[in-house]
Amino acid sequence: MKDLSLLKPTIRLSITNPDSESNSVFGRGIANLCLGVREAGSLNAAAKGMGMAYSKAWRIIKETEAALGIQLLHRDGAHGSTLTEEGDRLLDAYIAIDAQLQKEAERAFKGILS
């Protein structure tokens, strides 16, 4: 490929707790899982929508909550799950920052190639 203008940079944002010893971060995967919970009202439905086992989704949520020191989901057994206020705010911030960084990366890439 000789035309570099056909390429596109991809940004990988992650949010961490600097006080945590865990390697768990809030990144694209957990953001997609939380977005699925927001839209479907269920961790199980969100996991299935991503082709993931519920047990794995549950483990990822628990590890991320422990690492960040916040609860992401309200779990209501058979009635599903919803994002906590903190989970909603974190997801909204992640989505906004990710979109902003992606636009800036594309603008910078285009400018550098020109």
Taking residues 41-69, report their average pLDDT: 95
pLDDT digits (tens, 9 = 90+) for 4-27: 888 999 999 999 999 998 888 999
The 3-state secondary structure of the chain reads: CCCHHHCCCCCCCCECCCCCCCCCCECHHHHHHHHHHHHHCCHHHHHHHCCCCHHHHHHHHHHHHHHHCCCCEEECHHHCEEECHHHHHHHHHHHHHHHHHHHHHHHHHHHHHC
Token representation of residue 33: 């899982």
Q: Give pTM, 2 decimals.
A: 0.90
| The two structure tokens encoding residue 113 | 């190639």
